[in-house]
Each structure stands twice: as C-alpha cells, then as structure tokens.
Amino acid sequence: MIHITNLGFQYSKKAWVYQELNLHFAPGKIYGLLGKNGAGKSTLIKNITGMLFPTSGTCEVFDAIPRKREVNFLKELFFVPEEYYLPNLTIQELIQSYKDFYPNFDTHQFDSYAKEFKIEKSKKTTELSLGQKKKILIGFALSANTKVLIMDEPTNGLDIPSKITFRNMIKDSFKKDRIVIITSHQVRDLDELIDSIIIMDNGKIKLNLDKNDIARQLKFELSDTERKNDAIVYQEKVSNGFASIAKNETNNLGYIDIELLFNAVLAGKLKLI
C-alpha cells in the first residue's frame, strides 16, 4: 500500500507545488497518473521514491518512510525516470552489476525481453540508440519484480511498434501484489493498459477513479454532427466528426476515450464520484 496524507511540497521558498494532497495506491492495480507538463506528477513520484522529501504531511510505502531510503524499501521499489543515465558497460555486465540489488530479479525474464527487442547483450550501452536504452531499462525494471514499479513518461523515445510491445510487457509481467504507477502527458499511450486514472492539474487531484467506475457513469461516443442533448456533458470537434461524453443511463460498460476524458476534466466539465 502507498498512503499519501495531507502531503505538501515546495522547492525552497518558492510557491507550493501542492498542499494537503491525499492519495491511496493499492496492490493489484496499474495506475495512470496523468497531467500536463508542470502539473506536479514528477514531483509527486519523487516524493514516493524518496528522491524528494515532503515539506508537510506524510508518505508511506508498504509501511516504510521513503525519505529514510532503507534497504528493505529500496529493494522493493524500481523507478524508471524520464531522464536517465546508463553506465558504459555491456548489457550483460549491466545486469550482473545491478541484479543483486533486487532479490526477485529474474535473469531469464530479462533475456526474453532483450530477445524480443532484438538487442544483443554483448553490446555496450554507448552503442545503443535512445529508444534501445529505454527498452533495456524498462526490461530491467520489469525483471526486478519489485512490489512497486514507477515509470515517469516511459513511452517517450519509443516508436509505435515499441509502444505496443511495452504495453504487452506490462500486462504480461503484472502481479496481484504489485503496484504500478505510470505518469504520462501522452494519454493515448495508456489506453487499455491502466486500471485506475488519476488526473492532476496545477498540483491538485482533479479525478481519481477506477476505469470501471468511470464507465458506469459515462458513455463515450463519436458522431458525424454536433449533438444537442441534455445527457451530453462534454463535446469537442475531432478530425472525423464530434466526440462526446454523455451520462451512462444503462448498465453497459463501454470504451473509455482517455484523451477526451482528460480534456473534459481539465475543462472543468466533469464531476464524478
């Protein structure tokens, strides 16, 4: 469990990034932490990982205090940052040097990822492209099999086929005792992957719901012409017509257009329970 209670953070004496923030992350779910650049996503996950310390309030990760950076905490958490550095080693040397920090690291699992990405383990990291480096880091993160996996903008630098592979890897490696948090401002990259959606804007939580709860309340539709109906709560023009969100007045759970939902929430058009 991750418990964030009345959390506040500010850089030095600058304005608060957020105040009295409350969130709860449970095992067995993949969370999409969404927001525009500067919304506070990266600052939040750095508080969870212990890379930044709360100015006020508390953050607990499986009963550990992240700021203490204790071994039992670190061995069960893996963080893939948006910007990263890989030492000048072969991939094989990289694995041998770092795998023992994670007791549940599965070498065979990593080998299958490297094979899927078509990357030879004899290659040095300096020989890899940005996208290949990102693939290796993601493969290592999944193979570590930690209780908490956090990825900050993981699809940046990946081409379209690699994004599909990434989503499949996350699904295949997911375990019921694991918490996965993925931050992104490219919301379509998380379609069909996440279980729960958290939308931040200007340091505040604007939405925090499971996708099934959203689908019970809302229906997403596409039409050729603009719709005028009391059930419509948000509508916007798209390339092939009009995309709309309406109240779901049935028991059917349909597809969620995460990008449309994101736009509606930021526009202040949705109030969900």
Full 3-state SS string of 233-252: EEEEEECCEEEEEEECCCCC
Enter the tokens of residue 80: 């893939």
Of the residues 202, 227, 245, the one at which a domain ends: 202
Tell me the pLDDT tens digit for each residue of 110-134: 999 998 888 899 999 999 888 888 8
Cα angle at 258 between 254 and 262, to 5 degrees? 130
One domain, residues 218 and 85:
no
The closest of 201, 260, 271 to 236, measured between CA atoms, is 260
Provide mean pLDDT across the span 208-219. 93
CA torsion sign for 137, 139, 144, 146 is: positive
One domain, residues 155 and 43:
yes
One domain, residues 115 and 235:
no
Give the pLDDT confidence score for residue 192 in this predicted structure. 79
> Does residue 207 lie in a domain region?
no
Enter the tokens of residue 154: 């993981």
One domain, residues 224 and 195:
no
Of the residues 146, 177, 202, the one at which a domain ends: 202
Tell me the pLDDT tens digit for each residue of 29-80: 999 999 888 888 889 999 999 999 999 999 999 999 999 999 999 999 999 9
Alpha-carbon distance 171 to 181, whole Å? Answer: 13
CA torsion sign for 120, 124, 129, 131 is: positive
One domain, residues 119 and 64:
yes
> Does residue 67 lie in a domain region?
yes
Query: Which residues have a Cβ under 8 Å from the Cβ of 131 and sit 6 or more positions away?
Result: 157, 158, 159, 162
Chain mean pLDDT for the chain: 90
Alpha-carbon distance 143 to 108, whole Å? Answer: 9
One domain, residues 131 and 221:
no
> Does residue 19 lie in a domain region?
yes
Question: Domain span at residue 93?
Answer: 2-202
> Does residue 273 lie in a domain region?
no
Confidence of residue 256 (pLDDT cuts 50, 70, 90): very high
> Does residue 69 lie in a domain region?
yes
One domain, residues 234 and 123:
no
Number of domains in the chain: 2
Confidence of residue 140 (pLDDT cuts 50, 70, 90): very high
Enter the tokens of residue 261: 């939902």
One domain, residues 167 and 224:
no
> Does residue 272 lie in a domain region?
no
One domain, residues 219 and 114:
no
One domain, residues 116 and 225:
no
